[in-house]
Amino acid sequence: MGRMEGRVALITGGASGLGAEDARVLASEGARVVITDVQDDLGRAVAASIPGCRYLHHDVRDEARWEEVVAETLAAFGRLDVLVNNAGLVRFGTIEELSYADYKFQVEVMLDGTFLGCRAAIPHMARNGTGAIINMASVGGMKGISAIPAYAGAKGGIIAMTRSIAIHCREQGYRIRVNSIAPGGIVTPMTAQALAELPADDPGLQQNANHGMGEPADIAEMVLYLASDLGKHITGTNIVIDNGETIA
Ligand SMILES: NC(=O)c1ccc[n+]([C@@H]2O[C@H](COP(=O)([O-])OP(=O)(O)OC[C@H]3O[C@@H](n4cnc5c(N)ncnc54)[C@H](O)[C@@H]3O)[C@@H](O)[C@H]2O)c1
């Protein structure tokens, strides 16, 4: 028996990078997985490569679509045990450069998207009597990064919101654990694009890349830990996986 046998996971941003690897790892442990994204061709291809995995189109900013996605997950698999709020993107620009539109876009996808996901999933998990939510934060949300103030702000917000929602679930007596993960630089399409755009002496990602980037599995194994009974005593925390970036 796998560690996720009988459980159903919903993963946003599952067409690429960390979300796709989360889906592969959870499915390999027996989970039935729904991935959602806005990149439909990629999402369908990822789902086709994973046994028991389904793809749904979903822009995480779309409040009404959240209700449909949860309903479609329940219709397909009968329950919802795990939500990974993973969808994200980055737009570069310091506070002097970034437009308000680009600020809002990042905050809406990552912070609002995470809020909407938690709000849509919790009533169903509460009815199940158990659940695990994993929100994808970033070391940027802990230490600040001058080139990405909106991204860092959204991720810092995710860390604080995760804790607040975990406290709520505990106060309500729900056995729903809510945690965030803060990765440092991990090799994915997002960081490949960032490394190509950033100057070679950039004090953030480029210099940390010199210490060695992580692999998607480094994050997905922690998602499995928090999603499964391995993490049954962990809630309201932010797990940092950054090869020491935040202690340097
Ligand atoms: N890779 C890293 O080094 C790193 C570090 C810290 C945090 N993160 C976070 O991990 C998560 C995954 O990042 P990744 O590196 O795998 O990037 P990625 O670009 O490979 O994957 C992100 C996915 O999110 C999807 N997405 C973007 N906007 C969306 C929207 N509005 N609705 C639905 N889906 C949307 C994209 O289409 C993409 O498939 C993100 O939240 C990112 O901020 C990544």
Ligand 1 centroid to 88 CA: how many Å?
4
Q: What is the atom index within ligand 1 of the atom nearest the CA of 185?
A: 3
Averaged pLDDT, groups of 10, the chain, 248 residues long? 95 98 98 98 98 97 98 97 98 97 98 99 96 98 96 98 98 98 96 86 76 94 98 98 92
Residue 157 CB neighbour total at 10 angstroms: 18
Distances (CA, A) of 104 to 130, 151, 154: 33, 10, 10
Q: What is the pLDDT, as a whole number, of residue 195? A: 87
- CB distance 136 to ligand 1 below 6 Å: yes
Condensed to tens digits (0 to 9), the pLDDT of residues 9-50 reads 999 999 999 999 999 999 999 999 999 999 999 999 999 999
Which CATH superfamily includes the segment(s) 8-240? Answer: NAD(P)-binding Rossmann-like Domain (3.40.50.720)
Answer yes or no: 174 catalytic: no
| Domain ranges for the chain | 8-240
Residue 78 CB neighbour total at 10 angstroms: 9
Token readout for 173 is 């007596």
Q: What is the pLDDT, as a whole number, of residue 206? A: 74
Condensed to tens digits (0 to 9), the pLDDT of residues 219-232 reads 999 999 999 999 99
- CB distance 207 to ligand 1 below 6 Å: no
- Please tell me the pTM assigned to this model: 0.98
Q: What is the atom index within ligand 1 of the atom nearest the CA of 39?
A: 37
Span between the terminal Cα atoms of the chain, in Å = 41
- CB distance 227 to ligand 1 below 6 Å: no
Please give the full DSSP string across 49-102, using - where no structure is assigned. Answer: TSTTEEEEE--TT-HHHHHHHHHHHHHHHS---EEEE---------TTT--HHH
Distances (CA, A) of 139 to 58, 71, 143, 156, 213: 26, 33, 6, 9, 13
